[in-house]
Amino acid sequence: MNCSKSDLLEQLAAIVGAEWVKQDPADLNNYGKDWTKAYAPAPIAVVLPGSIDAVVDLVKLANRLGLAIVPSGGRTGLSGGAVAASGELVIAFDRMNRILEFDASDRQVVCQAGVVTEQLQQFADEHDLFYPVDFASSGSSQLGGNVATNAGGIKVIRYGMTRNWVQGLKVVTGKGDLLDLNRGLVKNATGYDFRHLFIGSEGTLGLIVEVTMGLASKPQDPTVMVFGIETMAAAMPVLQSFQKQLKLTAFEFFSEKALRHVLAEKGLPRPFETECPFYTLVEFENYSEQDLETAMATFESCVEAGWILDGTMSQNSSQAANLWRLREDISETIAKFTPYKNDISVKASKVPGFLEEVDALVAAQYPDFEIIWFGHIGDGNVHLNILKPDALPAADFFAECARVSDGVFELVRKHGGSVSAEHGVGLLKKPFLHYSRSPQEVDYMRAMKRLFDPNNIMNPGKLVDV
């Protein structure tokens, strides 16, 4: 950095105001990390800009001083993408949290980057519309971070990823240029759509400062069923059976081990008396009594085929919410065990064989570790969580898990999958990127990084090295 720390703080205060430059150790720790616990936060300072102009000025200052920037949203990431561990300046978007425009005809909402996901969901609901991207951290994650990581969640089988709902972006590049991308247009055939470069770029090309998000019609009376199954592979014929008959909005999966943690921590009742090795959760739109009859008939046929051992169906929205908690509360419940997370995906058609091979590998390599399976199996995305034993130091635990991850990711590559389905690459997955991306692809990614961020100040060290 080309100035003293005191000079830096003075220049930052001139841009955002002294009260929005944070130096307290608690603030540095809070804003310098995400939900991963593998890296110690060590930012030089935290700033909270209140406007796009302030963000532009901060980026230009960082270029002049040779100062690295780490963007900070809700800090709910699981790959180390928002960690500031090497004296970077953290730019947090908590103050830029307003919904700016809404047009019912366009079904679009223009939001600042710091708008919380749940805030947009509630806004849509108040206008009799629906924002469908949903996940366990929706109460704290921010839209800018969602876009930067192309967040997925529990409704992807029906509604797709965050990318599907981004109709416009304002970004500040690593050069300090403000770009207004696509401007909310549905049709725009004017060459390269840079919007899609920034979606999923993890803050390595620039900072997302404003988003235009599309909205959908509300789903009709979402009804939830939870089934007990004998094997992970049995989930796929169940999925296929229900997809043929009903319009599914979600198809989730979790293990008995995961369920036990949720029940113990949250005090929820079992969904039914039978204890099963694995469970699936199905959500569908209930348009009429015929849909309920179809769901029950499909359930019964799956029981007769031996795929389902037991099951239950929600009778109202409260019961549906409680059944969802069995799946959605898993991440929060196991967080205290410092889990090592593998967020992997393959095509849905390849899931049964893939899961069988991964499960055999993990069982052989981790005989003393507790393994928790859950995920969005309907879109081919499963989460493999390995819980840290109390007596094992975190550094040793993560090193051991990373070693065996090579074997897991070899299977991912064999089945044409991804080492990161929805959590991004960040720091944790960067050593394994080559299992999903060719050397030529990585070279083009580096070239894009150099174009938009020639001084390498934007989240350096994340995703790809230049």
Q: DSSP assignment, residue 170?
A: E
Taking domain 338-440, whether its CATH number is 1.10.287.70 is answered by no
Q: DSSP assignment, residue 218?
A: P
The DSSP element (H or E) to which 244 belongs, if any, is: helix 235-245
Looking at 3.30.365.10, 3.30.465.10, 3.40.190.10, 3.90.1150.110, the CATH number of the domain 99-214 comes to 3.30.465.10
- The number of CA neighbours under 13 Å toward the Cβ of 65 is 20
CATH topology of domain 5-95: 3.30.43
**Strand pairing partners for 210?**
112, 170
CATH number of 222-331: 3.30.70.2190
Domain 5-95 and domain 99-214, same fold? Reply is no
Nearest to 355 by CA among 227, 235, 229, 238: 235
Q: What is the DSSP string of 364-400?
A: HH-TTSEEEEEEEGGGTEEEEEEEPPTTS-HHHHHHH
> Strand, helix or coil at 342?
strand
35: left (phi over 0), alpha (psi -120 to 50) or beta: alpha
d(CA 391, CA 388): 8
pLDDT of the chain along its 466 residues, tens only? 678 999 999 999 999 999 999 999 999 999 999 988 778 999 999 999 999 999 999 999 999 999 999 999 999 888 999 999 999 999 999 999 999 999 999 999 999 999 999 999 999 999 999 999 998 889 999 999 999 999 998 999 999 999 999 999 999 999 999 999 999 999 999 999 999 999 999 999 999 999 999 999 999 999 999 999 998 889 999 999 999 999 999 999 999 999 999 999 999 999 999 999 999 999 999 998 999 999 999 999 999 999 999 999 999 999 999 999 999 999 889 988 888 888 999 998 888 889 889 888 988 888 888 989 999 988 999 999 999 998 899 888 888 888 888 999 999 999 999 999 998 999 989 999 999 999 999 999 999 999 999 999 999 999 999 9
Q: Is 202 exposed, middle or buried (0-12, 13-18, 19+ CB in 10 A)?
A: buried
CA dihedral 367, 369, 370, 373 (to 10 degrees): -80
**Strand pairing partners for 373?**
384
Q: Which residues lie closer than 8 Å to 385 by C-beta, 6 or more apart?
A: 334, 339, 340, 341, 342, 371, 372, 373, 374
pTM of this prediction? Answer: 0.92
| Domain regions of the chain by residue span | 5-95, 99-214, 222-331, 338-440
